[in-house]
Amino acid sequence: MHKRLVPRWRSVLLCLLCGMSGIATAAPLQAQWSFRLLPGDAQLQAHAGMDAWRPAQVPGSVHTDLMAAGVIGDPYVGAAEAGLQWIGLGDWEYRAHFDVDAATLAKRHAELRFEGLDTFAEVSLNGAPLLKADNAHRTWRVRVDGRLRATGNELRIVFRSPIRTLLPQVQAMPHKIAGNYPSPYGDEPKDAMVGNFVRKPAYHFGWDWGPRYVTAGVWRGVQLESWNDHRITDLVVRTDALDAQRADLSVLLQLEQGEVAGKARVVVDVLDPDGKRVTRLERDATLQPGSNTLQLPVSIAQPRRWWPVGYGAQDRYTVQARVDGGSNAEHRASLRTGLRTVELQREEDKDGGQGFAFVINGVPVFAKGANVIPFDAFPARVTPERLRRDLQAARDANMNMLRNWGGGYYEDDAFFDIADELGLLVWQDFMFGGGMQPGYDPAFRSNVVAEARDNIRRLRHHPSIVLWCGNNEEETAWKDWGHGKDLSAADPVFAAKVWQGYVDLFGKDLRAVVAEESLGVPYWSSSPSNDLDAKANDSTRGDKHYWQVWGNPALPVTAYLSETPRFMSEYGLQAWPQLSTVDAFATKQEQQIDGPVIQAHQKFMAGKGNERLLHYIGMEYGAPRTFADFVYLSQVMQAEGIELAALHHRASRPYTMGSLYWQLNDVWPGASWSSVDYFGNWKALNFHARRFFADVAVAALRAAGETRVSLLNDGRSPLAAQLRYRVMDFDGRVLQQQQQAVTLAPLAATEIMRLSDAALLKGADPRRTLAVFELLGDDKLLAQRIVYFAAAKEQLLAADQVQAELRAEGDHYRLRLNSRSLARALWIDFDNAKADVEDNAFDLLPGQPHDVVVRSRADLSTLRAALRLQTLGDALHSHPAPSQDNASVQRIP
């Protein structure tokens, strides 16, 4: 007999799968939009004429509308930020003129749905008040029955400055609760930050990787919906039991009936991933006025389950619902979703620790991936194409999980549709990025509960979502950073009230909403935490954020090898994006490490983050000689450091079951911890990640004069291979070699050997010797890891050793690279000729050619002329002095 999975709500948590399209006759509001600074606003004294109406784009924001109108320049170019803070201090007004067709007017019911109002909004329709909103994360619905005209409707929205709205009450507090990043621009007092009192994306107030642009506007769409007797308001597919043989589901329909009871015919079709109908459900229903819920059971034999990438297919089913009856012609709704179970496994171990592992369809998954921040300071500019570009980069780098960080906004459905398709698991934070919240205020908590309910219901049909997390770093900030201690010393009664409000919001309210609405996706109160256990950021229990590398006390990257968590949900190193990205916001003359434009795009330590970068570059690689070398070495340092940490996490399986580095993407072009820059260019880290997150990999990690070698296999089957290691000098002379047959256990890390430096070097010069560990199978190289015995700045690396041959081959080009001696950290660039390389940022062993596929629309001669190669040997040794043409590039002493 096969074993069936049944609901065990405290252990195996089954997924809820729901989503809708085609609700009643909802359609985007077709309107002509315009905006202005509200007449009488104080900002008019310095910005005269801004109370004139100008065209607006909806969805959008006041900043992008001002830019489109030519009032301001690009907020990302130069050092524009300080001069644009007045925008966040102003009250802005938007208006829309629209007509309504006869068919819509003929319906008995009508509703306007605002999917995103940023943030304190006063809405009126045809001169009459309609709505007051105070949460950018909520969907606001308001009935407009009998208030619409055939022509000449006018919708007006006044957006109040969140700073000016909240500042008086924050300043009046005898003792402040902790905020996040104080403004350096004087638009808000540093001791009275309002960001954590308003339900608005926290990053709009500035972060250590992005600008401070306090936006306003209609940032998501406006829908006009009309109906007669009834409409479908929700479609849910609940998974009651699931295994390889059978799925038992419940299709739940929520219907809103008008003022009079009525009868309706409900038809539900379930289509398999190929579009073939596998079942049809039909029922006659009597609907009472108000909300009605219908439950229809369905079973599917041999269901095609949804799996994360690397574990199986990303199959999805389509559910179509139709309701006939009354004077409605027909109402339809549909969803596309996957069938899977998710468990957050929290097993206690004999040493008093507690695990933290995601189990999908009964299979434990080692989470490999990164954190995701907002994709733009102005989210209405983010297109599905940009989302796909960066999520595809994650999958191409062999990631299987992304964490949607809590200081931004709940992503569009397109994000999760793409994650579902690509098999990327999503850890979803609620939108709390840091500081402390006024959870002691019942109205604030009620607003958050409504926000959470809105977004869970909107997103819960996505199989990719496997965790809802209350917030980012708020518990550890209170317990570990001094927030709680300082407030308790100043006002112990108020401090106790603040902490109880935190527990009420994140320990009770949000937990209850997730239990009610997500039907199985687990809840976690904060990251990092042990879900409100005594210690917040513990390596033995729960998830871990580790910032002693890069953050204070700025330990060397080798300290990663001494930190072994149960699940590492944040760690990171910074790097600058490639020079073409820097060129987009800074002229060549402005590209100086301590120049004002470069510092304006370096948000860490208020623009002094380059000092931290030089600290880390200097420890391993020495001092860069030019700005270009500074950019290159920052990427090498980031990639090699994160690789060390990620391989250590993977080698520690099953004690450690996740490694999510900070961060995947960028909000604007600048220095950050990302592996993919604002324009989608891969940094060296993303190329490295494709290797260190590969399903089969070698973790050869050297510390304290010893190299530990572990074989990593995330596959679900054993793998027979050959392990070979060679010790060679930088000119390719093999000093020793060994090879043995090995079997890699499935879903496991297997330590295979430990080798001392003495055993590997046997007297060889550590400055010009390496050890290369390789997994071979069917005469193919499956994985490789190179170990060095001296810091790069001490190594005897040669410059200008790489020979390159580029030739056309079918629909692409092939670049053959060869080197007489070790070419470490080889970077391929085609300057201003647009070209995509299949591999980059690798070490080229002497005498071992390496082919790279290149794709470009440019012709062969253009690409040959544009090709540039950079290695550590070029950057650190035999580097020519800057030419007169390059005199503006700062030399670093």
How many CB atoms within 10 Å of residue 652? 19
How many CB atoms within 10 Å of residue 303? 23
Q: Give the torsion through C-alpha atoms of 99, 105, 107, 113, to 10 deg.
A: 30
| CA distances to 127, 306, 488, 606 from 404, in Å | 40, 20, 32, 24
Q: Are 342 and 466 in contact (CB under 8 A)?
A: yes
Label residue 137 exposed, middle or buried (CB < 10 Å: 0-12, 13-18, 19+): buried
* CB contact burial 165-204 (16+ within 10 A = b; e otherwise): bbbeebeeeeeebbbbbbbeeebbeeebbbbbbbbbbbbb
For residue 262, what are its two tokens? 């009525």
Indicate the pairing of strand 719-729 with strand 734-744.
antiparallel
Backbone angles phi, psi at 870, to 5 degrees: -130, 135
- Which residues touch 807 (CB under 8 Å, ≥6 apart)? 813, 814, 816, 860
User: What type of residue sits at position 232?
Assistant: I
What CA–CA distance (Å, rounded) separates 144 from 366?
A: 50
CA 567 to chain CA centroid, Å, is: 17
- Which residues touch 589 (CB under 8 Å, ≥6 apart)? 888
Q: Across-strand partners of 143?
A: 111
DSSP summary character for residue 220: S
Hey, is 439 helix, strand or coil? coil
Please choose, from the candidates 665, 137, 16, the residue with its C-alpha nearest in 3D space to the C-alpha of residue 404: 665
For residue 258, what are its two tokens? 């008008």
Q: Are 624 and 333 in contact (CB under 8 A)?
A: no
Given 473, 590, 640, 774, the catalytic residue: 473
Backbone angles phi, psi at 49, to 5 degrees: 85, -5
What CA–CA distance (Å, rounded) separates 512 from 535?
A: 23
For residue 336, what are its two tokens? 């596309």
How many CB atoms within 10 Å of residue 859? 11
For residue 672, what are its two tokens? 């950050």
Q: Across-strand partners of 250?
A: 238, 297
What CA–CA distance (Å, rounded) separates 438 from 467?
A: 24
Please choose, from the candidates 369, 341, 356, 385, the residue with its C-alpha nearest in 3D space to the C-alpha of residue 426: 369
CA 574 to chain CA centroid, Å, is: 16
What CA–CA distance (Å, rounded) separates 85 from 66?
A: 13
Please choose, from the candidates 652, 612, 649, 654, the residue with its C-alpha nearest in 3D space to the C-alpha of residue 634: 612
What CA–CA distance (Å, rounded) separates 182 from 72?
A: 24
Q: Can you give the three-state secondary structure of 38-68, one letter per residue?
A: CCCCHHHHCCCCCCCCEECCCCCCHHHHHHH
Please choose, from the candidates 705, 715, 699, the residue with its C-alpha nearest in 3D space to the C-alpha of residue 752: 699
Q: Across-strand partners of 140?
A: 114
User: Is 640 a catalytic site residue?
Assistant: no
| CA distances to 507, 544, 683 from 636, in Å | 42, 25, 9
Just list the catalytic residues.
473
